[in-house]
Amino acid sequence: MTSTGTGTRAPEPSEPSEPAQPSAPVELTASAEPSGLSPAEGDAILAEYVAPWVRELGLTVLETGGRHAVLRLPWSDRLAREGGGLCGQAMAAADTATVIAVSAALGGFAPMTTVQLSTTFQRPARGTDLLVTARLTKLGRRMAFADITLATPDAPDDPVAHATTVYAFPG
């Protein structure tokens, strides 16, 4: 196991791990206290609640905290556009990382929908995995706001892309 820096641990790629079972959707409350979520619970949310084509991206949850999540987007030639750079459609990873960050803050999955997603591409990414880090900037009773950076593991301070998302909680 490797430390994720937040008290949660991510399994090494060679370690077998039992998939966590997703819990039923949580009830939203007025409390904004971060509840936390393990990486295994985040992976279970990906398996249960995201669209099949998003699951095909191969995202894995590396780290979660009270108001953030870090996912790995593995490189695949299927995600390359002409010239070998990462295609814009792979930016669904930013949207999905927000789902995990919000779920971490709530202590479990709650129904939510994207209201806004804006992505700024800053440099090409070719032939490398990306770390997708979503940080909640505000979590309210009806909406959540996040900043997301996509960077290569060898240059985490030189983003490939930056995104912002706004989510609404229906009901």
pLDDT over 70 percentage in the chain: 79
pLDDT in tens, 80-136: 877 777 788 778 999 999 999 999 999 999 999 999 999 998 888 888 999 999 999
Instruction: Indicate whether 18 belongs to any domain.
Output: no
Looking at per-residue confidence, does 126 or 139 come out higher? 139
Instruction: Indicate whether 59 belongs to any domain.
Output: yes
For residue 69, the enclosing domain spans 33-168
Instruction: Indicate whether 82 belongs to any domain.
Output: yes
Total domains present in the chain: 1
pLDDT band at 79 (very low <50, low <70, confident <90, very high): confident
Instruction: Indicate whether 20 belongs to any domain.
Output: no
Residue 125 sits at φ, ψ, to 5 deg, of -125, 120
Instruction: Indicate whether 71 belongs to any domain.
Output: yes
pLDDT over 90 percentage in the chain: 64
Whole-structure pTM value: 0.79
CATH number at residue 38: 3.10.129.10
136, 145 contact by CB (below 8 A): yes
pLDDT in tens, 18-35: 444 455 555 544 344 555
- Cα angle 13, 108, 106; round to 5: 120
The rounded distance, in Å, linking the Cα atoms of 102 and 34 is 9
The tokens for 115 are 């209201």
Instruction: Indicate whether 107 belongs to any domain.
Output: yes
Neighbours of 147 (CB within 10 A): 17
Instruction: Indicate whether 111 belongs to any domain.
Output: yes
Instruction: Indicate whether 127 belongs to any domain.
Output: yes
